[in-house]
Amino acid sequence: MKIEDAGKLGVSQLGKLFESLSSNEIARFTRAIESDRADPKLPLPHEAILQILRPRLASLKPERYPTPMRQFCDPFEDLLTSGEPNEKSIRISRSSLMPIWNVVVESGGPEFQQAMKDIDKAAATRDTAKLAIAERKLWQIGAQTIENQLENSHTGVKQERALATRLGSRIHLTAFAEVGKILRVGDEIAQLRERFPSAPIRVLDASDVKWLRDLFMSISKDKPGLEPMFLLAVLARLLRPSELFKLIRVLSTKSDDRTIEKTNLAETGDLIIDLLAETVTEIEQGVGTGKDEAHILSLARWYASEFVRITREFKIRKDGRWGEKLLETRRRVSRALADTMFGATPERVIDALPKLEAAQGPGSGRGALARPIFSQEFDDEKVLAAEKSAEAIAETARISDVLAAQSSAAKAVVELKKKLNQIGRAGVDSMRRLTPEEVPNAQRNLMATVRLLEIVDGPEDADVLRRRGMNALRALSADQKAS
């Protein structure tokens, strides 16, 4: 298909066409559209076409066509988020990009305009060397432009309001300042991305740590005060934030977070723990929105792993700067788990099983016996969900010491074990009154109770209940045959 034909097709037709194209065809088509957008020669709705392409591009991640704005954003790309970051977040909202870009383009002057043209020319000829020179020039001028705008805004309330108005809102001012500082170390971040092209970085080995240390020391010498911005870029590219403590440990001659408090590394440690706090917020939000226990468990497991790695890599003191922040995140996790995993969740497990207050049979008098517990209806879906909940409780209880949730975990497990044993005993004791038609259902209820008990408390009590139940069913079968 020729790209000039794309303008003749409707949205649904383009969507179907793009779904039928191979990965290579999609990549070639995207490059052609972006190239024409940079230097229009065809009457095409470039933005509309790219919007339809985005779902495929997100999954394929083809090589991106360089544009001035895209290259401008490269140094802080790993920090971008679609949501609105809180004030302690290391993230930059994508909603701030266009306002920031517009102000920089308007204020950057002829040199910035020339850098943009140089990027377009280098992209058109695929000259990577010239592209690298042009984008570094773009970052330098962009950083200086932002600094000039901020300096002017600090001269008075009127000037500050004027800058906020140009950005469209005051909420973009923080991101505006952050972008300016990151662009100052854009060259070093480009080196970082070249050494670690695939994100996230899973692990930093000894040679990686040495390489990062040397680059950090170079920034410290040539661009003092901007070291935290470089470490922020490293942090955003790591799979596990705790990996950065390997570098902090090498850079610091201090032994713990209390004595490192006044160094420029203290701020970076804060950022790592603030990033960990984002996971805590996810746990709290998961609890608040009623997300399933498996999701909350995965977050809790991740948090526990990072907590252990951070405290292992560096000597964290309870009364130190990082120790206090870490303990606060742990208290939040403990409260969240007490409210859900060890609060409401055990009830969901029990709710899937037969009720101890079983109704009496139809027409029964006051003194009549209740129907056998395990004769009650068996619900496959409820039992399956209960097993997942029980697994989440058991797994979270195993890491509860790291989460400071031992008390609520022990209480939940003991209570759940007690109720499961009660249901199991009552079910087995009433089996002798089962009718032949109720036996298959009773067997399913028995095995569901056994399975849940095994998940929560291990095989010992579960095996006892299984044997008692099967013996009772065999005795019942023998009695029914004899009669």
Least confident of 85-89, 289-293, 358-362, 373-377: 358-362
pLDDT of 368 strictly over 60: no
The average confidence (pLDDT) of the chain is: 86
Q: What is the pLDDT of residues 129-139, one digit of tens each?
A: 999 999 999 99
pLDDT of residue 298 exceeding 80:
yes
**In the predicted model, is pLDDT for residue 85 greater than 90?**
no
**In sequence order, what DSSP letters do the residues of 224-257 get, joined into one string?**
TT-HHHHHHHHHHHBSSGGGHHHHHHHH---SBT
* 330-357 mean pLDDT: 81
Segment 38-67 mean pLDDT: 72
Q: Which residue has the higher pLDDT, 233 or 5?
A: 233
Helices 23-38, 109-125: axis angle to 10 degrees equals 140
Pure H helices in 108-205? 109-125, 128-153, 157-167, 173-184, 186-195
Indicate whether 374 pLDDT > 90.
yes
The pLDDT of residue 455 is above 80: yes
Instruction: Looking at mean pLDDT, say which of 145-154, 348-357, 410-419, 434-443 comes out highest.
Output: 145-154
Closest CA to 178 of 140, 159, 199, 150: 150
State residue 216's pLDDT score.
Answer: 94
Look at 72 and 315; give whichever has higher pLDDT. 72
Average pLDDT, integer, range 399-428: 89
For residue 464, name the pLDDT band (cuts at 50, 70, 90).
Answer: very high
Q: What is the pLDDT of residue 58?
A: 63
Contact by Cβ (8 Å): 268, 232: yes
Query: Global pTM?
Result: 0.69
Q: Which residue would you say has higher pLDDT here, 356 or 443?
A: 443
| Highest mean pLDDT (candidates 155-169, 297-311, 467-481) | 155-169
Grade residue 366 by pLDDT with cuts at 50, 70 and 90.
very low
Where residue 149 falls among pLDDT bands split at 50, 70, 90? very high
* Domain ranges for the chain: 3-64, 70-184, 278-355+371-482
* Higher per-residue confidence, 230 vs 24: 230
Alpha helices in 266-378 (DSSP H): 266-289, 293-313, 321-339, 345-351
Question: First CA to last CA across the chain, in angstroms?
Answer: 81
DSSP letter, residue 261 = T
Q: Is the pLDDT of residue 359 over 50?
A: no
pLDDT at residue 360, rounded to an integer: 47
**Chain segment 237-294, per-residue pLDDT in tens:** 998 988 998 998 888 765 556 656 656 677 888 888 888 888 888 888 876 666 677 7
At 144, is the pLDDT very low, low, confident or very high (cuts 50, 70, 90)? very high
Q: What is the pLDDT of residue 364?
A: 46
pLDDT tier, 315 (very low <50, low <70, confident <90, very high otherwise): confident
Residue 65: C-alpha distances to residues 36, 42, 54, 126 (Å): 11, 18, 14, 9
Buried-state track 374-402, b at ≥16 Cβ within 10 A, e below 16: bbbebbeebbebbbbbbbbbbbbbebbeb
- Is residue 322 very low, low, confident or very high in pLDDT (cuts 50, 70, 90)? confident
Higher pLDDT, 115 or 249: 115
Distance CA 5, CA 230 (A): 45
Judge residue 246's burial from the number of C-beta atoms within 10 Å of its C-beta, 0-12 exposed, 13-18 middle, 19 or more buried.
buried
